[in-house]
Amino acid sequence: MRKFQHYIDGVFEDGEARFESIDPATGIAWAEMPEAKSRDVDRAVSAAERALTSGAWAAMTATARGKLLYRLADLVAAHASALAELETRDTGKIIRETSAQIAYVADYYRYYAGLADKIEGASLPIDKPDMEVWLKREPVGVVAAIVPWNSQLFLAAVKIGPALAAGCTLIVKASEDGPAPLLEFARLVHEAGFPAGVINIITGFGAECGAALTRHPKVAHIAFTGGPGTARHIVRNSAENLASTSLELGGKSPFIVFADADLESAANAQIAGIFAATGQSCVAGSRLIVEASIKDKFIEILKAKAEAIQIGAPDRMETEVGPLCTFRQRTLIEQVVSESIAAGARLVTGGSAPDEAGYYFRPTIIDCDGIRSPSAETELFGPVLSVLSFTGEEEALALANDTPFGLAAGLFTQNLARAHRMTRQIRSGIVWINTYRAVSPIAPFGGYGQSGHGREGGMAAALDFTRTKTVWLRTS
Ligand code: NAD
């Protein structure tokens, strides 16, 4: 069985405790992972604090920090296929997707490498003739970056990149489900030459490792991606030390299709929007809100496309939908689908697990029109599309906003004025018009409501890892 290690204070170590990681394509354990206990967390945080306050990193210029980040980006690009294979093996995410996403990961590191020496302070035109006042931007401090199991390399990059550009140090906690790619990524951090303690990478369970990290008095900021329930625990824990938080949480994103849309293009976007990553994506377009006049026609197009999807082993290039990451996730999905059907929803396609071993579930479409279906309300994190229909913009908006979440929304129409009107009123952090799931290091990403607060991506994310110091100088 392959063994992975923690990376604490520049050293690779086994950790006192270990646990097994399961291959979701077979349901069989394939690797042994270290499990961080409170003591390991404390050592990692202390190492990050030492690196922040003294030694090579604390003294390094912003340009030199940027050079290290460029080196890290190059190493990620050079090891892209090995990292993608590990992510596929440990999480079941298909190789096509892990390979494509790793290219983005390198792009994000490059973007923040370039930003490192562009985070500027300011001079203030103060109303006192004998004073000069200026603002310095300083790193916020030791950062705890906590990521979920889906897209771990990507979700860590959007935290590590801006935090390092700002001069912070970090403890990155990989999810206990599928931590292999991030633990392996630590080898690239080491090779890039970051001073010991600047980036520490550990994994462990939420109840001990996560709680110890978020309660730690030396952690100044917690950058979290995961579920809203976990976020509540984290915010409660962070209150003890009043650490700041940025929260990237779940979603139940509406995908609105008007009758005037290019239906073929909307259908392709909807299929990718819900079934990519086997639906295990925070921005999954899981609620189709389609104009009533084209509902039947659009469902027929989607049904044909969903039934043509190749389900299979995640490491095969032909596979389009792989297994879910965990057995418990599939059990939850089966349960919610059957509750929805019991509540009156109509199964269009899918709805069950194929016979193969592994945590597979067929791409599923459920017509929930006119009923309150649990599938249309719960974030399922699986390949399940719930269909609702509307007549008129007002009803489309009411359905779109009928959720406590607010991460992303898709809008398909040829009518530009309508697109503007709708965008103004949709409550979500991202609106994609006639496209879906587009991302870029330059564009901020984040939610409204229970999808969290704070933004990742763009300059604003780097500024979130800084705090300002106001300096007054008496000149006479
Ligand atoms: P999760 O909330 O169960 O776990 C996320 C991380 O938090 C894991 O590393 C876990 O160990 C840790 N954790 C658990 N309990 C903790 C505690 N008490 N204190 C500190 N840390 C703790 O999420 P998951 O099931 O791994 O991932 C799925 C969720 O993540 C979904 O809700 C999804 O929408 C969300 N997500 C959001 C985004 C986004 O950018 N908005 C992206 C991807 C996933």
Map 412-447 to HEC letters. ECCCHHHHHHHHHHCCCCEEEECCCCCCCCCCCECC
- The rounded Å distance from CA 259 to ligand 1 centre is 37
Report the Cα 334 to chain-centroid distance in Å. Answer: 24
Looking from the CA of residue 248, the nearest atom of ligand 1 is 41
Residue ID of nearest Cα to ligand 1 atom 11: 206
∠ CA 431-435-441, nearest 5°, is 70
Contact 147, 173 (CB under 8 A): yes
222 lines ligand 1 (CB under 6 A): no
Whether residue 379 lies in the annotated active site: no
52 lines ligand 1 (CB under 6 A): no
Both 103 and 202 in one domain: the answer is yes
Both 228 and 279 in one domain: the answer is no
Asked whether residue 438 is assigned to any structural domain, the reply reads: no
Structure tokens at 297: 């026609």
Give the pairing of strands 6-8 and 254-257. Answer: unpaired
381 lines ligand 1 (CB under 6 A): yes
Looking from the CA of residue 251, the nearest atom of ligand 1 is 34
Structure tokens at 9: 């204070």
190 lines ligand 1 (CB under 6 A): no
Contact 72, 98 (CB under 8 A): no
Residues contacting 356, CB < 8 A, separation 6+: none
Residue from 87, 184, 248, 456 carrying the catalytic annotation: 248
What distance in Å separates the CA atoms of residue 287 and residue 290, rounded to the nearest whole number?
9
pLDDT at 206: 96
214 lines ligand 1 (CB under 6 A): yes
Both 289 and 227 in one domain: the answer is no
Tell me how far CA of residue 398 lies from CA of 53, 163, 194, in angstroms: 51, 38, 50
Asked whether residue 463 is assigned to any structural domain, the reply reads: no
248 lines ligand 1 (CB under 6 A): yes
Residue ID of nearest Cα to ligand 1 atom 6: 148
- The rounded Å distance from CA 248 to ligand 1 centre is 9
Residue 287 has phi, psi (to 5 degrees) of -120, 105
Last residue of a domain, one of 197, 230, 249: 249
Last residue of a domain, one of 249, 267, 286: 249
Both 158 and 276 in one domain: the answer is no
From the list 165, 174, 177, the residue with the least C-alpha distance to 116 is 165
- The rounded Å distance from CA 415 to ligand 1 centre is 38
Both 199 and 239 in one domain: the answer is yes
Contact 226, 148 (CB under 8 A): yes
72 lines ligand 1 (CB under 6 A): no
Residue ID of nearest Cα to ligand 1 atom 40: 248
Structure tokens at 223: 């950058």
DSSP, res 130:
T
Instruction: State the amino acid at position 417 in one-letter form.
Output: A
Looking from the CA of residue 229, the nearest atom of ligand 1 is 2
Q: Where does residue 436 rank: exposed (0-12), middle (13-18), buried (19+ CB within 10 A)?
A: buried
- Structural domain range at position 184: 2-249
Both 168 and 72 in one domain: the answer is yes
Counted domains in the chain: 2
150 lines ligand 1 (CB under 6 A): yes
225 lines ligand 1 (CB under 6 A): yes
Both 245 and 258 in one domain: the answer is no
- The rounded Å distance from CA 232 to ligand 1 centre is 11
The whole-number mean pLDDT for each consecutive block of 10 residues of the chain, a chain of 476 residues, reads 97 94 93 97 98 97 98 98 96 95 96 98 96 97 96 97 98 97 98 98 97 98 97 96 96 98 98 96 97 98 97 94 92 96 97 88 96 94 97 98 98 98 98 97 96 95 97 97
Q: 402: how many CB neighbours lie within 10 A of its CB?
A: 15
Residue ID of nearest Cα to ligand 1 atom 12: 206
Both 322 and 410 in one domain: the answer is yes
pTM of the shown model: 0.95
176 lines ligand 1 (CB under 6 A): yes
Report the Cα 335 to chain-centroid distance in Å. Answer: 25
Asked whether residue 455 is assigned to any structural domain, the reply reads: no
Both 165 and 275 in one domain: the answer is no
Residue ID of nearest Cα to ligand 1 atom 39: 248
Both 190 and 270 in one domain: the answer is no
Write the CATH number for 205.
Answer: 3.40.605.10
From the list 375, 378, 374, 379, the residue with the least C-alpha distance to 350 is 375
DSSP letter for each residue of 195-248: PTTSEEEEE--IIIIIHHHHH-TT--EEEEES-HHHHHHHHHHHHTTT-EEEEE
DSSP, res 320:
S
Residue ID of nearest Cα to ligand 1 atom 42: 282
283 lines ligand 1 (CB under 6 A): no
Most informative mutation of 225, 238, 280 for ligand 1 (most atoms within 8 A of CB): 225
- The rounded Å distance from CA 206 to ligand 1 centre is 9
Asked whether residue 450 is assigned to any structural domain, the reply reads: no
Report the Cα 185 to chain-centroid distance in Å. Answer: 17
234 lines ligand 1 (CB under 6 A): yes
Both 200 and 240 in one domain: the answer is yes
Write the CATH number for 348.
Answer: 3.40.309.10
Both 137 and 57 in one domain: the answer is yes
pLDDT at 394: 98
- The rounded Å distance from CA 125 to ligand 1 centre is 44
- Say what angle helices 263-275 and 295-307 make with each other, to 10 degrees: 50
Q: 38: how many CB neighbours lie within 10 A of its CB?
A: 15
Residue ID of nearest Cα to ligand 1 atom 35: 226
- The rounded Å distance from CA 229 to ligand 1 centre is 9
- The rounded Å distance from CA 227 to ligand 1 centre is 5
Asked whether residue 397 is assigned to any structural domain, the reply reads: yes
Report the Cα 137 to chain-centroid distance in Å. Answer: 27
- The rounded Å distance from CA 210 to ligand 1 centre is 10
pLDDT at 355: 82
**Buried-state track 69-99, b at ≥16 Cβ within 10 A, e below 16:** bbbbbbbbbebbeebbbbbbbbbbbbbbbbb
